[in-house]
């Protein structure tokens, strides 16, 4: 018997996705298609009878607006919402806001692929005088300077996300709560690596669609009962 549910979802298509940018902590909104993806995901969860105890997202508007669309379609706008910088996308350092094809032309496809999918390879860091340095953003004003990333690998992103999983999400699931978590591709890789006990190589190869709920159902002992995508195209597909 299912004890609790965790729904992980990458935000709807963003303007950065649409323009093929390294987006990271660059706070771009959803594209028109992304707004509709988010609404469609909410309608799909409502049609399957999903009820949640709380909702979580990052500090970036593409996840916040995706969450709002989902909760509106679910008729659960009253749910407690928790926003955390630990659920922010990987910080792409000096690459943030730049077009991926331009970076490939400058550095070569192999180097760019290492930055994107290498487990412990960090892109060039952003300087503290850059507008992309988080220390200039008031939403991160309470964080210790040492916690502010200048660029992250998948490995350091996992290290940042892990305390949120251990101290916030997992205890709520163990208490029998069902959670909706709207976040980003790299953060989903970090969370799935914990849930599925993946190796670094397996984690790097995960490809995650936008706007598609990934459902984890748990037994009373906290073990995963099953995990599957909820979508018209991928309904029931195991992960």
∠144-145-151 over CA atoms, to 5°?
Answer: 120
Q: What is the pTM of this model?
A: 0.94
Question: Was 2 annotated as part of a binding site?
Answer: no
11 annotated active-site: yes
Are 186 and 105 in contact by the 8 Å Cβ rule? The answer is no
**pLDDT lower than 50: segments of the chain:** 235-236
What domains sit in the chain, N to C, each tagged with a CATH number? 4-229 (3.40.50.1240)
Q: Which are the contacts of 217, defined by CB distance < 8 A and separation ≥ 6?
A: 2, 4, 5, 224, 225, 226, 227
Question: Was 236 annotated as part of a binding site?
Answer: no
Question: Was 170 annotated as part of a binding site?
Answer: no
Question: Was 91 annotated as part of a binding site?
Answer: yes
Residue 11 Cα to chain centre, angstroms: 7
- Residue in 37, 73, 89, 152 annotated catalytic: 89
User: Could you give the C-alpha distances from 52 to 77, 98, 214, 236, in angstroms and in order?
Assistant: 11, 37, 14, 20
For the stretch 221-226, contacts whose Cβ atoms lie closer than 8 Å and that sit 24 or more positions apart, written own/partner, are 222/3, 222/173, 222/174, 224/195, 225/2
Are 184 and 11 in contact by the 8 Å Cβ rule? The answer is yes
Residue 58 pLDDT: 98
Are 18 and 216 in contact by the 8 Å Cβ rule? The answer is no
Cα gap 154→183, rounded to integer Å: 15
Cα–Cα nearest to 181, from 11, 39, 3, 4? 11
Paired tokens of 44: 């799909």
Q: Which are the contacts of 171, defined by CB distance < 8 A and separation ≥ 6?
A: none
Paired tokens of 190: 């970090």
Question: Was 92 annotated as part of a binding site?
Answer: yes
Cα gap 143→43, rounded to integer Å: 36
Paired tokens of 165: 């999983």
Residue 73 pLDDT: 98
Beta-bridge partner residues of 12? none
Question: Was 117 annotated as part of a binding site?
Answer: yes
């Amino acid at each position: 018997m299912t004890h609790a549910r965790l729904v992980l979802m990458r935000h709807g298509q963003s303007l950065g996705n649409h323009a093929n940018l390294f987006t990271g902590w660059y706070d771009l909104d959803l594209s028109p298609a992304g707004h509709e993806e988010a609404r469609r995901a909410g309608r799909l969860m409502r049609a399957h009878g999903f009820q949640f105890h709380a909702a979580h997202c990052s500090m970036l508007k593409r996840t916040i607006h995706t969450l709002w669309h989902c909760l509106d379609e679910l008729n659960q706008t009253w749910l407690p919402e928790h926003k955390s910088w630990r659920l922010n996308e990987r910080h792409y350092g000096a690459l943030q806001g730049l077009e991926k094809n331009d970076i490939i032309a400058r550095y070569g496809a192999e180097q760019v692929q290492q930055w994107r999918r290498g487990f412990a390879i960090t892109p060039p860091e952003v300087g503290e005088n850059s507008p992309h340095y988080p220390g200039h953003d008031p939403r991160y004003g309470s964080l210790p300077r040492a916690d502010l990333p200048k660029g992250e690998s998948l490995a350091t992103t996992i290290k940042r996300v892990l305390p949120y999983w251990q101290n916030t999400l997992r205890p709520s699931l163990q208490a029998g709560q069902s959670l909706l978590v709207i976040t980003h591709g790299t953060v989903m890789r970090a969370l799935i690596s914990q849930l599925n006990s993946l190796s670094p190589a397996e984690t790097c190869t995960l490809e995650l669609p936008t706007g598609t709920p990934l459902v984890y159902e748990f037994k009373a002992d906290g073990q995963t009962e099953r995990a599957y995508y909820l979508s018209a195209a991928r309904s029931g597909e195991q992960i």
